[in-house]
Structures are given as structure tokens and as C-alpha cells.
């Protein structure tokens, strides 16, 4: 099911559907510190769904730790109580609230309220033995589908009995302080900000305001410093020799893989931040998956759009040409209306991938390759996590339609589908009918096994790829020779020279360097 997801603390939400866009004009959070060291957490926020985009229909709310229970949670939308609250299938510590008939639709706004309780959230203060401390960051949202800024307010309510002169804040100063009607001290942080990142606020107060025991300070080490030093030296020596062996192994392995590393070495090395908005084929290209896998992702995307149809192993045009990306147009130009009678030589579609790599280089300008790769790996991992969760066959069908392309981008696809539960069935999406052997209806109203459906679709795509392009598995090396050629060294008897063809290659030139 498509959803709008929020996260807390270390859990960062990843949204897969590309047609979400919303804003949060108002964001209010109240945290009450209780005497038993638990927190009462309250949220009150306004969602505004951007016109023309998918409704906000499910909201995930995270908790600082896993020490919470569903029974402590309640939610409302525009004053109507929401009862469908479950453990989140997207984040480790959190819940998902299904809005049902109270979803916020395109162009509409809705006020969402939530409360919950997290146990054991007060600890010993690190600077004062007589003080306790608490740190908290409210929920935030994925910035790639969040528009605008929020009128943001966080209030932390100290335990009963706290005196204004005896309480403290941590690194981030509060905006206002007050004493509420119940006589409890309140610190408030208020500003206009985008709620797409953590906002960490902390407070300290006398430890007799809460019940113990608080977390103890680390005990004295059981091993002496001298013995610890000797163990450390021995460990470093072992680590040194192990690192040499590992480097040698990596060198041998990388020598074989070098000819399949088709990305230019400077791509994303000098930038910072995450490049969002890449399609699954572009993301797979960024992670340097084999080009025959990238080809499968392109084909599946075109089947999903209705641009191509699969007849046995033959890809045929449908006549649909709207909404195509440049690489999809390039592939479509090589496919006749009635499909190819014989496979296309791999050399004839090499330009398709070299152009994709050029476009990727432009998209990644000023962005970090490492951070962006981590981001898209998390998207793939969350797709698998969603696929493995307990859901109805109908919902599994929606999930497969929206997430299968990201699952297929994983080079461990075959291994991971074998881990699906045998009891998990799926109603196969219509865009996959032509990839499933036999009659779809013959699988019964409960659908077919999820693992079998994934296996058959992937197998059908691989068969279509081999029928469409001959020697497709050798594409990576062919493209590498154009986009990232192997470094060339030269030597002459009258002198010497050292040429490095890539910034990431180690070259021992006179004077040192790379």
C-alpha cells in the first residue's frame, strides 16, 4: 500500500512511490517527563497534500527506542479517532497509522494528532552526578517528497517538583520557558524549519525528581592498563599482517572485476549530499550492477508503462510512446512493432548505456557517490523488508507493482526471494500477467506464492533480454572500454613517463602521488 511515512531518531524513512508530495504547515510536539522515567509523547500537525499527488493515507511515527507498546498509542485525524495502528513495517521502532476514510487527498489539508508512551528514557547526567538527563528528537520526514517549511514547536515538560532555577538545557538553547497551570516547568523550542532532519534537544534536572535506578556509569575495567596495552600491541601486529593478506586478496579479485567497472572514476567523488530522484535503472547503474541487470530494469519499467508487451520471449510495441525517458526511447527504436525475429547484436545498444552513464554523470555533479549509493541501497533493502512483511494477497500485489523494480535491482535477488514465507500469496498485478506461465486465474482467489511470482517474472524478463540482445552478458566490459578505459602506462629508453588514465588509480610516479 502506498503511504506517507515519518520517522524518529535513527530510523530514516524511505518512500518509494514517486507521486507523493506534501507539506506540513504546522508541526507541534510535546514531551512530558514522568517520575517513572517514561515519556508521554504528543504530536499535533497539519498535513497538506499537494494538488495532483497521491493522498496521504498511512503515517509512520517512530519512537526513540523499542521500549513502547501499541496499547499506549492513540491517533486522530480532524478529531476522528483512528483505530488501525500497527507496528511499522518501514522503521524498526515505530507504528504505522492507517488513515482509511480520513486520508488527506490531493489539494486537501488534515490535522493529525497522536500520542504514545516510551519507557526508560531518563539517564544519569554525564556532567553532574546529582542530575538526570533526557534527550529527544521529534519525528521527521523524507525531504525528497516534502515541500516547504513548518511552523515548528517542541515543548519539553519537566517532572513534577522541578524548580526553574534548578533545571538546565543541553547544547541547543530553548526559545521560551514557562510554568504551566499544573506548576510544571516547560522549555519550548520554536522556529520555522523544514522537518526533514533530526532536531535534538536535551535537558537535565535533579535526579530525585525521578525514580531510580538510573543507568550507572561504566565500571572500572577488569583488565589492567599494562595488560590492555600488551593485548592492544599484539592485536595491532596481527591486524597489520591480516590487512596485508586482505589487500592481496582484494587486488587479485579487483583485477578481474576492473573491466566491468564502467563508471568514470571522478563521478561523485568531489560532491556532497544525496542525489535523490533517480529511477531504478539509473540507481542500479550508479551502484555498477551488471548491465544485463540494468537492461532487465528498463524492460520491466516499459512493460509497467504499457509501452511494451511480452509475447512468449518476444518484446513487442504497443503503440504507447508518452512519458518515456531517453534510454527507453533508445531501446524502443530497436524493437519492431511485431518484435525482433533474431537477437540484436550487443554492440548496437552499447550507445544506449554510454549515454545513460553520461546523463548519470551530469545528474551526480556536486553530489556524493558514497552517500547516494547508501541512500538507494536503503531503498532496495526497505523494498525487501516490505515484501517480507505479513500482508494480504491484494496488498502484496500493490507492493509488488510498486517495489518489484527496486527488488530486481538487488544482485542477491534470487537468494532473497527464496527467503519468502511459503504462506505468503500475491494477487499478480496486471502489468506482470504476460510474465507468468499459465493462467493467472488458475491460481485461485488467494493468488499465487509470492516467491514463485517473483521468480517467474524475473525468469521471463531474462528470457526476453536474451531473445532481444545477443551476448548481453558481455555488455559491461564493452561499455567500460568507452566510459572508463584501463589506465595506460608508457616508457621510453630516452627518459621516463608515467600516465594515469583515472583519478582513482594508484600510480607510482617520480616524486610520489597518484
Average of per-residue pLDDT across 257-285: 77
pLDDT band at 253 (very low <50, low <70, confident <90, very high): low
105: cell is 487527498
Radius of gyration for the alpha carbons in the chain, expressed in angstroms and rounded: 28
Which residues have CB under 8 Å from 94's CB, separation 6+?
7, 8, 11, 60, 61, 62, 63, 87, 88
Sign of CA dihedral 139, 143, 144, 149: positive
Decide if pLDDT at 48 tops 70: yes
Nearest to 258 by CA among 72, 486, 497: 486
395: cell is 496488498
Tell me, what's the pLDDT at 251?
A: 58
Tell me, what's the pLDDT at 15?
A: 37
Most confident by average pLDDT, 103-107, 141-145, 382-386: 103-107
255: cell is 583485477
Pairing of strands 314-317, 308-311: antiparallel
Which residues have CB under 8 Å from 236's CB, separation 6+?
none
Tell me, what's the pLDDT at 188?
A: 97
292: cell is 544485463
Tell me, what's the pLDDT at 378?
A: 92
More confident site: 21 or 447: 21
Decide if pLDDT at 72 tops 80: yes
Tell me, what's the pLDDT at 1?
A: 31
pLDDT (tens digit, 9 = 90+) per residue, 462-483?
888 888 888 776 676 667 767 7
Tell me, what's the pLDDT at 194?
A: 95
In the chain, how many H helices and how many E strands? 10, 26
Tell me, what's the pLDDT at 257?
A: 55
Cross-strand bridge partners of residue 40: 32, 117
174: cell is 530553548
pLDDT (tens digit, 9 = 90+) per residue, 391-403?
888 888 888 888 8
How many whole angstroms separate alpha carbon 186 and alpha carbon 159? Answer: 10
Decide if pLDDT at 494 tops 70: no
Tell me, what's the pLDDT at 225?
A: 52
pLDDT (tens digit, 9 = 90+) per residue, 304-322?
888 888 888 888 888 888 8
Nearest to 89 by CA among 373, 406, 399: 399
Question: Residue 203 phi/psi, 5° resolution?
Answer: -140, 155
Average of per-residue pLDDT across 53-79: 92
DSSP notation for 169-220: E-SS--SEEEE-TTS-EEEEEEEEE-SSS---EEEEEEGGGS-SPPPPPPPP
Decide if pLDDT at 272 tops 90: no
Question: Residue 124 phi/psi, 5° resolution?
Answer: -60, 140
pLDDT band at 417 (very low <50, low <70, confident <90, very high): confident
DSSP secondary structure code for residue 82 in this structure: E
CA torsion, points 141, 146, 148, 151, in degrees to nearest 10? -30
How many whole angstroms separate alpha carbon 212 and alpha carbon 391? Answer: 41
How many whole angstroms separate alpha carbon 172 and alpha carbon 175? Answer: 9
Tell me, what's the pLDDT at 511?
A: 30
Pairing of strands 344-345, 469-470: parallel
pLDDT band at 411 (very low <50, low <70, confident <90, very high): confident
pLDDT (tens digit, 9 = 90+) per residue, 9-44?
333 333 334 477 899 999 999 999 999 999 999 999
- Residue carrying C-alpha cell 486522530: 76
Tell me, what's the pLDDT at 228?
A: 63
DSSP secondary structure code for residue 473 in this structure: G
Tell me, what's the pLDDT at 268?
A: 59
Is residue 500 exposed (0-12), middle (13-18) or buried (19+ Cβ within 10 Å)?
Answer: middle
Q: What residue segments make up the domains of the chain, in order of their start?
A: 6-209, 226-259, 280-480
306: left (phi over 0), alpha (psi -120 to 50) or beta: left
Q: Which helix (H) or strand (E) holds 238?
A: helix 225-257
How many whole angstroms separate alpha carbon 295 and alpha carbon 315? Answer: 13
DSSP secondary structure code for residue 509 in this structure: -
DSSP secondary structure code for residue 50 in this structure: P
| Per-residue three-class SS string for 395-458 | HHHHHHHHHHHHHHCCCCHHHHHCCCCCCCEECCCHHHHHHCCCCCHHHCCCCEEHHHHHHHHH
Decide if pLDDT at 74 tops 90: yes
Decide if pLDDT at 500 tops 50: no
More confident site: 420 or 498: 420
pLDDT (tens digit, 9 = 90+) per residue, 145-174?
889 999 999 999 999 999 999 999 999 999
pLDDT (tens digit, 9 = 90+) per residue, 224-237?
555 666 777 888 88
The Cβ of residue 370 has, within 10 Å, a number of other Cβ atoms equal to 12
Return the CATH number of 6-209, one of 2.40.50.180, 3.10.129.10, 3.40.120.10, 2.60.40.1730.
2.60.40.1730
Among 71-85, 105-119, 455-469, the range scoring the smallest mean pLDDT is 455-469
DSSP secondary structure code for residue 366 in this structure: T
Return the biggest CA–CA distance within the chain.
Answer: 91
Is residue 375 exposed (0-12), middle (13-18) or buried (19+ Cβ within 10 Å)?
Answer: buried
Decide if pLDDT at 502 tops 50: no
Average pLDDT, the chain: 81
Amino acid at each position: 500500500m502506498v503511504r506517507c511515512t515519518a520517522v524518529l531518531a535513527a530510523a530514516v524513512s524511505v518512500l518509494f512511490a514517486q507521486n507523493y508530495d506534501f507539506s506540513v504547515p504546522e508541526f507541534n510536539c510535546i514531551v512530558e517527563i514522568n517520575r517513572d522515567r517514561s515519556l508521554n509523547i504528543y504530536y499535533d500537525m497539519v498535513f497538506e497534500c499537494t494538488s495532483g499527488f497521491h493522498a496521504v493515507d498511512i503515517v509512520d511515527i517512530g519512537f526513540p527506542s523499542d521500549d513502547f507498546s501499541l496499547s499506549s498509542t492513540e491517533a486522530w485525524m480532524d478529531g476522528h479517532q483512528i483505530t488501525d495502528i500497527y507496528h511499522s513495517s518501514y522503521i524498526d521502532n515505530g507504528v504505522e497509522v492507517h488513515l482509511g476514510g480520513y486520508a488527506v487527498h490531493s489539494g486537501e489539508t488534515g490535522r493529525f494528532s497522536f500520542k504514545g508512551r516510551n519507557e526508560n528514557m531518563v539517564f544519569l547526567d554525564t556532567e553532574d552526578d546529582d542530575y538526570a538527563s533526557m534527550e529527544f528528537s521529534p519525528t521527521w520526514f523524507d525531504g525528497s517528497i516534502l515541500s516547504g517549511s513548518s511552523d515548528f514547536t517542541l515543548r519539553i515538560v519537566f517532572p513534577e517538583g522541578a524548580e526553574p532555577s534548578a533545571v538546565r538545557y543541553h547544547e541547543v538553547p530553548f526559545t521560551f520557558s514557562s510554568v504551566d497551570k499544573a506548576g510544571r516547568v516547560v522549555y519550548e523550542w520554536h522556529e520555522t524549519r523544514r522537518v526533514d532532519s533530526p532536531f535534538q534537544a536535551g535537558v537535565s534536572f535533579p535526579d530525585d525528581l525521578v525514580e531510580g535506578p538510573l543507568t550507572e556509569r561504566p565500571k572500572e575495567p577488569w583488565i589492567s592498563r599494562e595488560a590492555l596495552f600488551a593485548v592492544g600491541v599484539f592485536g595491532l601486529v596481527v591486524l597489520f599482517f591480516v590487512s596485508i593478506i586482505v589487500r592481496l586478496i582484494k587486488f587479485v579479485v579487483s583485477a578481474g572485476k576492473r573491466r566491468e567497472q564502467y563508471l568514470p572514476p571522478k563521478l561523485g567523488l568531489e560532491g556532497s549530499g544525496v542525489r535523490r530522484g533517480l529511477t531504478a535503472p539509473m540507481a542500479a547503474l550508479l551502484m555498477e550492477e551488471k548491465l544485463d541487470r540494468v537492461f532487465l530494469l528498463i524492460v520491466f519499467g516499459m512493460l509497467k508503462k504499457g509501452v511494451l508487451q511480452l509475447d512468449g520471449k518476444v518484446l513487442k510495441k504497443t503503440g504507447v510512446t508518452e512519458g518515456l525517458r531517453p534510454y527507453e526511447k533508445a531501446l524502443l527504436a530497436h524493437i519492431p512493432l511485431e518484435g525482433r525475429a533474431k537477437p540484436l547484436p550487443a554492440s548496437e545498444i552499447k550507445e544506449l548505456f554510454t549515454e545513460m552513464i553520461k546523463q548519470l554523470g551530469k545528474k551526480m555533479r556536486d553530489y556524493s557517490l558514497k552517500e547516494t549509493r547508501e541512500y538507494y541501497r536503503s531503498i532496495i533493502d526497505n523494498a525487501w523488508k516490505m515484501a517480507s512483511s505479513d500482508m494480504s494477497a491484494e496488498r502484496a500485489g500493490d507492493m509488488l507493482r510498486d517495489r518489484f523494480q527496486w527488488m530486481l535491482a538487488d544482485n542477491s535477488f534470487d537468494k532473497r526471494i527464496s527467503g519468502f514465507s511459503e504462506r505468503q500469496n500475491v494477487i499478480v498485478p496486471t502489468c506482470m500477467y504476460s510474465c507468468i506461465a499459465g493462467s493467472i486465474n488458475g491460481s485461485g482467489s488467494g493468488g499465487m506464492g509470492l516467491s514463485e511470482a517473483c521468480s517467474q517474472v524475473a525468469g521471463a524478463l531474462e528470457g526476453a533480454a536474451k531473445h532481444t540482445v545477443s551476448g548481453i552478458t558481455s555488455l559491461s566490459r564493452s561499455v567500460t572500454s568507452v566510459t572508463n578505459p584501463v589506465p595506460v602506462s608508457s616508457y621510453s629508453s630516452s627518459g621516463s613517463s608515467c600516465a594515469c588514465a583515472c583519478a582513482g588509480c594508484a600510480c607510482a610516479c617520480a616524486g610520489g602521488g597518484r
